Structure 1
């Protein structure tokens, strides 16, 4: 018996050592993952209806720089990983911007990443119904989506009808004007009024959500969008920002909010806009001042590669046809090459004048600088509506979202009528 025990003692001792080493190794792996998890995210996903292809993810990395990642989709599944500094908004799509603008795409959607392991579920042509598990911030996004659902269901068919009317402008200009004035004018005004009322209800839902979720990075992003789009008052937005926890105030989106609100104060509604003189793509000289006393002006800051900008173009064409006797649209392009701008103008049949943001012939008063700097533009689509006295009436957009055309139509209609 003693012999057996003594012969087994080394065996058990060796096994214990091996177990100890394995446990220690696992602990090191765990500690490594924990250390990485401060910045690393891991995204596993499944896309129903897509056996093979590619998926693209646009997000802000751990250095707060724009980042594009992609993954091959095999048997409907994909995997992506990266580093982020904090919970952040991201866009996932089946088409890279390098392939051209995916206008009206149903295969791109918004999610909120966190430095953790997440699981995404989506279906082809239904990226607006994406489900992301593992991200508390994205859970807030889905909560608000559920709260908005009853109003969104009413808004959708109204917007579809507005879009259907806009298609009539693809006909001959003269015929379109007749159709609009004689048959559709009343319906457009009615739909615009209805949408305004519905969006006020939606804003009320958003407002209550933000008040109840002041700790959320998602709330900060929603507030930033509303400030960019000019759909929330300065005082109320400032009060919400002041109520955020300190960590959220110091975050990237928190500091962006503070910066945007400062810019809102620098160009207040009702303030006089700076004049600029530029050469457009046809070689003609454009001066903002020459429209004073004659026409309202809509400045459209955009780029040919900007997907939301291109999505807005058909609506701007409809607005231009309807109000061109009273309104001039001036496109200010951020394209690096005029050939890209001209190509987009031909593709989208754009008629209003266009100038290049970085053109050496552009002059602006009271000092020479880029037009976007003078008007504090740092995102697009971004539009400024200016009255006949040269005063700023309304700001629209500045961000990743397409601007609701009914908002522009409603403001212009109020000015003219």
Structure 2
């Protein structure tokens, strides 16, 4: 009798495992179908971008080259919007599959990306809709931790405080600027091309508003301090504050939910995050410029 019971339990285990595998395979197929329209648009954009890059590489006329670069930037914005549209579809899909690990994975990969930056409340709503088994799984607990850092670093939240030594071994504390200055934290690295391409316009902003109470704290993700220091000298950006995550053994990037560079955070005099920009691009530049202009003209 015991042998029969054991065989029955083994049969139930394998049967349930096979059903689960079939369910997940079906869900994977549903996701592929769900993404077909946005994938088609994404592939089309990649093709157009590739063609423009080829033209830029051989173009001699600087005016035409700049026009092509702007076209490339416009396409990048279209791609971002397409990705956001796909994310919205994924939110609905995940809500309709609350017991699926694959559905959790579907939204978890987006939580720290640019396209998910303005959807904190939706991420929380969808995550809370998952079953306890999914939320308490290893990946579920990872998602919960990501949401914690997302919340404390989003626009409207008090900026996480930090203390560190700068490039000149002077102590810097975010709290020391409270009530005195607006702070732009610029997460970057010497090896990051887009980060360095943005430095000329960042220097212009600093030159324009520094006397009115604007300060920049650049936080590098460099793992080579010599390259970091050489980049600062070469770009002539010694005027503002510089911090190395490595040299300070700091968790500032984790506290501000930084998953890639460039990444900028604007903090007001009350220590509240009032702006956040992931990645580069003309829209981000214009948005930051517009916000600073509004702040300092109003004052």
Normalising by structure 2, what TM-score?
A: 0.59
The structure-2 alpha-carbon separation of the partners of 1:382 and 1:209, relative to structure 1 and needing over 3 Å to count, comes to: farther
CA pair 355-157 structure 1, distance change in 2 beyond 3 A: farther
- Please name the residue that 1:156 is paired with: 43
Deviation per CA, 1:306-345, whole angstroms, max 9, x where unpaired? xxxx7xx34434444666533778343273x646xx39x9
* 1-structure distance, mates of 2:109, 2:152: 18
Instruction: Tell me the number of residue pairs that the alignment of Structure 1 and Structure 2 aligns.
Output: 254
Q: Which residue of structure 1 aligns with residue 204 of structure 2? A: 325
Contact persistence 1:166–1:315 (CA under 8 A): no
Alignment match, 1:269: 155
| Equivalent residue number for residue 415 of structure 1 | 288
Tell me which residue corresponds to 1:386.
Answer: 265
Q: Relative to total residues, which structure has the larger strand share, 1 or 2?
A: 1
Instruction: Report the secondary structure of 1:298's partner residue.
Output: strand
Change in Cα spacing, 1:277 to 1:409, as seen in structure 2 (3 Å) is farther
Aligned equivalent of 2:142, options 248, 256, 259:
256
Contact 1:224 1:257 in 2 (8 A): yes
- Tell me how far 1:147 sits from its aligned partner: 2.2
Deviation at 1:248, TM superposition (A): 0.6
Secondary structure of the structure 2 residue equivalent to 1:226: coil
Instruction: Check 1:321–1:395 CA distance in 2 against 1; reply closer, same or farther (3 A cut).
Output: closer
SS at match of 1:325: helix
For residues 109-258 of structure 1, the aligned pairs below 5 Å read 137=24, 140-159=27-46, 183-184=67-68, 186-187=70-71, 190-229=74-113, 230-231=116-117, 233-258=119-144
Q: Structure 2 regions of 5+ residues with no counterpart?
A: 207-215, 291-299
Task: Report the Cα offset of residue 217 of structure 1.
Answer: 0.8
Among 252, 260, 281, the alignment partner of 1:371 is 252
For residues 47 and 170 of structure 2, what CA distance do their matches in structure 1 show? 38
Structure having the higher helix fraction is: 2
What is the CA deviation profile of residues 188-240 of structure 1, one whole-angstrom value per residue up to 9, with x for unaligned ones? 56334423432332223222322222221121122223332343523322221
